[in-house]
């Protein structure tokens, strides 16, 4: 008779004791515990230690594609601070006709004066542009617990006998959301999914039974991307670019031919236009620097990795290969110039031309202002 394969209750990887560098490795004694975790999850939880593992991209697609063959409710989690970067364009291909509930996480990092009703209206219009029909939307903070009752109520109302699959790109807060929901639904055991700020923490599907309900909550691996700066920097620099508290926007009154640097990861050139304000929405710990456009190249060469950090010495050279995105903004409503995985500059409705320099492969987009 084939022995039962135990899985890590933190990341979902099948547990094994023979290959320390592979997913799911643990010591033999851990297999006797009621809720065993792998060594990697143990180290993330207790020491905030990062451990790289190799997980095949096809395995991610295989796991998520199983949803389309089942009767399910799909909770799609996006990062409100980086909607475009955390959006999965081809999700419907994986999940079939199952209903989708959109959860926009990290609302707590938006500035304090933000009108959340307007943010929800903005989000609905952005989703409509993508041609996606939703059963509902919730603005939440998985870390702070804001908005969780709305998510719980929706699941109670619409799940019925459907399992609830939580999907999204890596590092949008899926596991943190599920841990909050476990407690909200009244789970009293010590089941807890492993969470961290580092992409790729969940390695396989993790099923969590909810007491007094027919359905399970299922955490799926985050779909890995490579177009966000948060995908490309080293773990130390990731802490500098991911907001961990409410953002304090910085306003710069710029004349044309002036430049702003966001660390050494992005450069914003105000090439042409009347003097006007630009509002910067980035993590508070990321340093912004202003200079004349004519001095920008020299400043970058001399101070990259010092004054202009990140990237640091542990980051790859690919972050120093900048490409230019030329953008013309027409007079009218406010626009955001978004750098995926980093933040955005907001232009307040005046006509202008700007050039944005970012590492090759990083998405730059323009949208209606979120704030």
Q: pLDDT at position 240, please?
A: 95
Q: pLDDT at position 4, please?
A: 66
Q: Rounded to whole angstroms, how far apart are CA atoms 139 and 151?
A: 9
Among 346, 301, 300, 343, smallest CA distance to 327 is for: 346
CATH superfamily assigned to domain 56-225: P-loop containing nucleotide triphosphate hydrolases (3.40.50.300)
Q: Rounded to whole angstroms, how far apart are CA atoms 13 and 202?
A: 8
Residue 51 has pLDDT above 60, yes or no: no
Tell me the mean pLDDT in the region 71-94. 90
pLDDT in tens, 163-196: 899 888 878 888 788 888 888 877 545 555 444 4
**pTM of the prediction?**
0.81
Residue 273 has pLDDT above 80, yes or no: yes
Tell me the mean pLDDT in the region 2-14. 71
Residue 203 has pLDDT above 70, yes or no: no
Least confident of 32-36, 78-82, 338-342: 32-36
pLDDT in tens, 139-159: 999 999 999 999 999 988 888
Which residues, in sequence order, are CB contacts of 344 under 8 Å at separation 6+?
A: 280, 281, 336, 337, 338
Least confident of 33-47, 147-161, 239-253: 33-47
Tell me the mean pLDDT in the region 205-214. 72
Residue 82 has pLDDT above 50, yes or no: yes
Q: Rounded to whole angstroms, how far apart are CA atoms 316 and 223?
A: 22
Q: pLDDT at position 48, please?
A: 52
Q: Rounded to whole angstroms, how far apart are CA atoms 87 and 254?
A: 32
Q: pLDDT at position 59, please?
A: 66
Q: pLDDT at position 204, please?
A: 52
Q: pLDDT at position 197, please?
A: 45
Task: Report H helices in 246-321.
Answer: 293-303
Question: Could you tell me if 210 and 217 are in contact, meaning their C-beta atoms sit under 8 angstroms apart?
Answer: yes
Q: Please give the residue that has the higher pLDDT: either 63 or 98.
A: 98
DSSP letter at 44 equals: H
Tell me the mean pLDDT in the region 98-116. 95
Domain ranges of the chain: 1-54, 56-225, 235-368
Structure tokens at 221: 């691996």
């Amino acid at each position: 008779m084939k022995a039962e394969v135990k899985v890590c209750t933190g990341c979902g990887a099948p547990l094994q004791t023979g290959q320390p560098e592979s997913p799911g490795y643990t010591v033999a004694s851990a297999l006797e515990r009621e809720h065993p975790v792998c060594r990697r999850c143990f180290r993330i939880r207790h020491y905030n230690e990062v451990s790289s593992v190799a997980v095949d991209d096809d395995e991610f697609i295989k796991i998520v594609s199983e949803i389309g063959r089942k009767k399910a409710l799909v909770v799609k989690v996006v990062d409100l601070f980086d909607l475009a970067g955390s959006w999965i364009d081809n999700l419907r291909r994986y999940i079939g006709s199952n209903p989708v509930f959109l959860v926009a996480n990290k609302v707590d990092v938006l500035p304090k004066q933000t009108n959340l009703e307007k943010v929800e209206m903005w989000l609905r219009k952005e989703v409509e542009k993508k041609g996606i029909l939703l059963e509902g939307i919730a603005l939440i903070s998985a870390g702070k617990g804001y908005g969780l009752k709305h998510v719980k109520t929706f699941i109670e109302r619409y799940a019925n006998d459907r399992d609830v699959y939580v999907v999204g790109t890596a590092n949008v807060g899926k596991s943190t959301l599920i841990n909050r929901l476990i407690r909200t639904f009244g789970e009293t055991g010590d089941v807890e999914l492993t969470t961290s700020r580092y992409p790729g923490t969940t390695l396989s599907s993790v099923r969590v039974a909810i007491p007094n309900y027919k359905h399970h909550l299922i955490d799926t691996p985050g779909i890995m991307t490579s177009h966000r700066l948060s995908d490309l920097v080293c773990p130390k620099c990731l802490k500098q670019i991911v907001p961990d508290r409410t953002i304090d926007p910085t306003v710069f009154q710029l004349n044309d031919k002036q430049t702003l640097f966001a660390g050494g990861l992005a450069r914003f050139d105000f090439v042409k236009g009347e003097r006007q304000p630009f509002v910067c929405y980035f993590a508070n710990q990321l340093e912004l620097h202003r200079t004349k456009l004519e001095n920008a190249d020299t400043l970058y060469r001399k101070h990259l990795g010092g004054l202009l950090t990140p990237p640091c010495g542990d980051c790859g050279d690919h972050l120093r290969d900048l490409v230019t995105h030329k953008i013309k903004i027409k007079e009218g409503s406010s626009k955001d110039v978004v750098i995926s995985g980093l933040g955005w500059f907001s232009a307040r409705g005046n006509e202008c031309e700007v050039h944005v320099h970012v590492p090759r492969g990083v998405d730059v987009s323009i949208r209606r202002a979120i704030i």
